[in-house]
Amino acid sequence: MASVESSFAGRDHFALLGLPRAYAVDRNELERLYRDLQAHVHPDKHAHKGDADRRVAMQWATQVNEAYQTLRDPLRRARYLLHLAGHDAAIETNTAMPAEFLMEQMELREAVADAHAAADTAHLDDLHGRLRQEMAAQHEELRRAIDETHDYARAADVVRQLMFQEKLVSDIDAALEAAET
């Protein structure tokens, strides 16, 4: 899904919020900068003004929300950094993944399907935890590839794997939700 604009008034999402362009982000700092900026541009702050000012405020607030949502989520942040570095095409086109990774994902997928069928929420929770742990390691790998070695091809590989894993996490969430109701 395309964001509305990847830059706004000449600023990318990092510049807009006043953050250095890097994968590693201080979450608290991000929150603070986001709120400070919204406090300035949000339509509520311009509600008593004329049409033109209100429209500009909406555009800014929209863009600040977009920047914040993009940078807050590590995977979206990584994809955005690859996009800024001109490497986003690799994510869409190159679909090859290591056989070992695929095997493991397939096993996990089957385990989720079984646990779903059996409405075994404990096992689903378990799988959830295991996947989360693996993903944390992947994110560390992303940080190294983007911030330290600038190996964008490697980063694109990890991003694709993470997209796979996130899909599985949301499947587990859906199964848990179904089991609860």
Q: Which of 22, 24, 35, 132 forms a contact with other proteins (CB under 8 A)?
A: 35
Size of the site for other proteins (CB under 8 A): 40
* Collapsed DSSP state (helix, strand, coil) of residue 12: strand
Taking the C-alpha atoms of residue 109 and residue 66, their distance in angstroms, rounded to an integer, is 32
Find residue 11's DSSP bridge partners: 8
Instruction: Determine, following the binding rule CB under 8 A, whether residue 53 of this chain makes contact with other proteins.
Output: yes
Q: What is the DSSP string of 23-81?
A: S---HHHHHHHHHHHHHHH-GGGGTTS-HHHHHHHHHHHHHHHHHHHHHHSHHHHHHHH
Instruction: Determine, following the binding rule CB under 8 A, whether residue 76 of this chain makes contact with other proteins.
Output: no
Residue whose CB is less far from other proteins, 99 or 122: 122
Considering the complex, what minimum distance in angstroms separates the CB of residue 173 from other proteins? 8
Q: Which residues bind other proteins (CB under 8 A)?
A: 1-4, 9, 18, 35-45, 47-53, 55-62, 65-66, 68-69, 173, 177, 180-181
